Structure 1
Amino acid sequence: MPRRDLPPLPPPAHLRAWLDDSVVRADRARFLEDLGRRSLGPGRLLLLWAIAAVFAFGWSFVGMALMSFEQDRALEDIFGAVYAALGAGVLVPAGFWLAWGARRDRQVRQLLCAWAEFEPDPVVDARLRAPGLSLGWLLPSLGLCALGLWVTFGTAATARPGSDTYGEVAYHMGLGMILWITGLLGVGKAAAHYRWALRALTAPGRGSRSASTGLPPHG
């Protein structure tokens, strides 16, 4: 996957007196816009869904492996082993991909918090709250949670011995769990951003702190 460099950390306190105020504020606005897009942009939601689709694709091989092993025939066991290997070949890289994305999100959040606390600007910070993007994450994610729970518990409730195999039930329940966990991750991200925005961007006295910590005039 292509990787773009993240913005740097805010300059330390002992260097701020040497920096131009307008340049610092322009950099802060640009970096916060970039970090906000990386954290809560539509591309991040699509990336989460893409990872979930890869997990579902890999799980389909696992489901076919389980159903093949249930046949208890030599040829079906061979096919089952092939399906299991294919499933592992898809699920393991998807797991690494998910871990990479989680680590990247943590880095972005740390930088976002650092720049948000550095020289607050009401105009820029108002855009950073992004209630529309939070809602865009929340509503589809709630739908995925509901669909995942319906598939999982519906499969378990309607399964009948003799007509549904254990492999089929395991496959559909696993697919429902993938949908539910994906939706839960989206809901958690939207809720975390909303709580952070309320705490960090609407804290009492933010404007006075900004004025008291402003850069000294030059010249």
Structure 2
Amino acid sequence: MPRSSLPPPPPPPYLRTWPNRAALLADRYRALEELRRRSLGVHRVLLLWLLAVAAIVGWALLVLPLQQIEQQDPTGIILGPVFAVLGLAALSPSVIAVVLAVRRERDMRGLRDAWLALDRDPPADARLRSPGLSLFWLLSSFAVGAIGVWAALAATAGAEPGRDRYSDVALGLGIGLILWITGLIGVTKAVRHYRWALRALGPVPVPQHR
């Protein structure tokens, strides 16, 4: 997504015109909450999975010409290049979108740190921890990555020369690798958010019982 869609950074000290601290904290929380939503929102993990599905479709189309060659299908001469182009058309945008998302995540981390540095607001900052969302990212991404590892191992470990086609092995290995990378991205995001919350917001306060 374009860089302009993100909240702007806080103004430099000589341009700050907040009438009081309450107004500053209100703008600070709105910016941080928007950054949290754009980074950890459920729609982000669904978009990541959608990109993975598009990449899997693209890889399957790229493997089709190899399957046609192994099956000695004469239509592969005509349809093979078509499937290859369609596969690249489905796979390339997914890869580009993931690269742009990683860069965008880096920009959001910088914006979060800049807004946090303005002041401290423990009650509002506690809501930015989002333990439920980060746990959802962690567990769901771990499951996707585990399925990817299983698919890759199943495709390679059980293959026997002369009985299994190379195209089938390549298909299973590619799908497994795509799912593993998708899971790794999600797990990394969850761990980074947890580490950021501990570093920037401090440990979770323990309620004092009287």
Q: Would the TM-score normalized by the shorter structure come out above 0.5?
A: yes
| CA distance in structure 1 between the aligned counterparts of 2:100 and 2:139, rounded to whole angstroms | 25
Considering only aligned residues, what root-mean-square deviation do their CA atoms show, in Å?
2.0
Normalised to the residue count of structure 1, the TM-score between the two structures is 0.85
5+ long unaligned stretches in structure 2: 204-210
| CA distance in structure 1 between the aligned counterparts of 2:34 and 2:18, rounded to whole angstroms | 25
| CA distance in structure 2 between the aligned counterparts of 1:193 and 1:23, rounded to whole angstroms | 27
| Kept in 1: contact 2:57–2:90 (CA 8 A) | yes
Structure 1 residues 138-217: aligned runs within 5 Å: 138-202=138-202
1:213 is aligned to none
| CA distance in structure 1 between the aligned counterparts of 2:38 and 2:134, rounded to whole angstroms | 13
5+ long unaligned stretches in structure 1: 204-219
1:100 is aligned to 100
Shift of 1:19: 4.0
Is 2:89 the partner of 1:89?
Answer: yes
> Would you say how many aligned residue pairs link Structure 1 and Structure 2?
203
Shift of 1:74: 4.4
| CA distance in structure 2 between the aligned counterparts of 1:94 and 1:48, rounded to whole angstroms | 9
Q: Could you list the per-position Cα deviations for residues 149-185 of structure 1 after superposition, in whole angstroms to 9, with x for gaps in the alignment? A: 1110111111122221001100111000001110000
| CA distance in structure 1 between the aligned counterparts of 2:17 and 2:3, rounded to whole angstroms | 33
| CA distance in structure 1 between the aligned counterparts of 2:14 and 2:2, rounded to whole angstroms | 35
SS in structure 2 opposite 1:128? Answer: coil
2:208 is aligned to none
Structure 1 outlier segments of 4+, above 6 Å: 1-4
| CA distance in structure 2 between the aligned counterparts of 1:144 and 1:197, rounded to whole angstroms | 25
| Kept in 2: contact 1:39–1:109 (CA 8 A) | no
Shift of 1:18: 5.8
Shift of 1:2: 8.5
Normalised to the residue count of structure 2, the TM-score between the two structures is 0.89
| Kept in 1: contact 2:144–2:182 (CA 8 A) | yes
The letter for the 1-side match of 2:78 is I
Shift of 1:8: 1.4
| CA distance in structure 1 between the aligned counterparts of 2:195 and 2:2, rounded to whole angstroms | 31
| Kept in 2: contact 1:25–1:119 (CA 8 A) | yes
More deviation in 97-106 or 145-154? 97-106
